Amino acid sequence: MVDSYAVIKAMKDYAEKENVPIMLDDGINYLVKYINKNNVKKVLEIGTAIGYSAILMALANEEVEVTSIERDEKRYLEAVKNVKKAGLEKRVNLIYNDAFNVVLKDKYDLIFIDAAKAQNTKFFEMFEKNLNSNGTIITDNLSFHGLVNKKEEEIPSRNLRALIKKIKNYITFLKTNKNYETIFLELGDGLAVSRRKK
Ligand code: SAM
């Protein structure tokens, strides 16, 4: 019998020790509730890291299948170990590659974007063809540790200012995208929930 709680606790401890960014508690709790409430069966995640959110989404209920893409080898290998420890090899499919090189034929009820923040628009445009007609794309880190709401002069470095600008552009892209209804939630590090319009 797998002790899922112990596996998750160990992943959280590892993430903290090794500085691996994983979802904050209220963000992942929202995702799990969203999956159960909206009868989500197939999830595509861009940005596995060590498998923390992929495993928690798969644990939402026994019908959920998660495909998740990670480009960092060390993190991918750690995720493979964690999925095995959680006994979820049959329902969590991990892909080791840059998401921009991955071509998927399947359709998903939910696409969760949690990878390079400057590339959100590109991920969205690339993978929306894999979204079911009534599916949802959820994106994390739209508040980026509170920096998105700060004045430009309050952001300490030029690189960070460029990143924040890209996140703001993505927010505008979502707000003006007529094919989706997007709500922005101040949960975790800021979530956008973009439901495809019928
Ligand atoms: N979703 C994970 C969780 O909450 O457990 C956290 C993901 S972490 C915030 C973002 C991950 O995306 C990093 O491990 C990074 O290597 C990966 N990543 C960034 N850009 C990527 C890309 N183009 N293709 C695949 N993975 C990418």
Conformational region of residue 23, where left means phi above 0, alpha means psi within -120 to 50, and beta covers everything else: beta
- Indicate whether 3 pLDDT > 90: no
Average pLDDT on 5-34 reads 97
Task: Tell me, using a 6 A CB cutoff, whether residue 47 lines ligand 1.
Answer: yes
- Indicate whether 152 pLDDT > 90: no
Task: Tell me, using a 6 A CB cutoff, whether residue 127 lines ligand 1.
Answer: no
Intra-chain end-to-end CA distance of the chain, in Å:
43
Task: Tell me, using a 6 A CB cutoff, whether residue 22 lines ligand 1.
Answer: yes
Tokens describing residue 183: 């709500």
pLDDT score, position 126: 98
Condensed to tens digits (0 to 9), the pLDDT of residues 48-91 reads 999 999 999 999 999 999 999 999 999 999 999 999 999 999 99
Condensed to tens digits (0 to 9), the pLDDT of residues 85-117 reads 999 999 999 999 999 999 999 999 999 999 999
- 38-68 b/e (C-beta count within 10 Å ≥ 16 → b): eebebbbbbbbbbbbbbbbbbbbeeebbbbb
Rounded Cα–Cα distance for residues 39 and 160 (Å): 38
Rounded Cα–Cα distance for residues 38 and 27 (Å): 16
Rounded Cα–Cα distance for residues 68 and 76 (Å): 10
| Contact by Cβ (8 Å): 31, 55 | no
Percentage with pLDDT > 70 across the chain: 100
Distance 189 CA to ligand 1 centre (A): 15
Give nearest CA residue, ligand 1 atom 9.
21
Distance 122 CA to ligand 1 centre (A): 14
Rounded Cα–Cα distance for residues 195 and 99 (Å): 22
Distance 72 CA to ligand 1 centre (A): 8
Condensed to tens digits (0 to 9), the pLDDT of residues 168-187 reads 999 999 999 999 999 999 99
Q: What is the average pLDDT score of the chain? A: 95
Task: Tell me, using a 6 A CB cutoff, whether residue 98 lines ligand 1.
Answer: yes
Domain that holds residue 167: 4-196
Rounded Cα–Cα distance for residues 19 and 179 (Å): 37
Q: 25 Cβ partners below 8 Å, 6+ apart?
A: 188
Residue 168 belongs to what H/E stretch? helix 158-176
Number of domains in the chain: 1
CATH number at residue 147: 3.40.50.150
Condensed to tens digits (0 to 9), the pLDDT of residues 131-150 reads 999 999 999 999 888 888 88
Average pLDDT on 161-170 reads 93
Percentage with pLDDT > 90 across the chain: 86
pLDDT score, position 124: 98
Distance 195 CA to ligand 1 centre (A): 22
Question: What number does the ligand 1 atom closest to the CA of 50 have?
Answer: 5
- Indicate whether 191 pLDDT > 90: yes
pLDDT score, position 47: 98
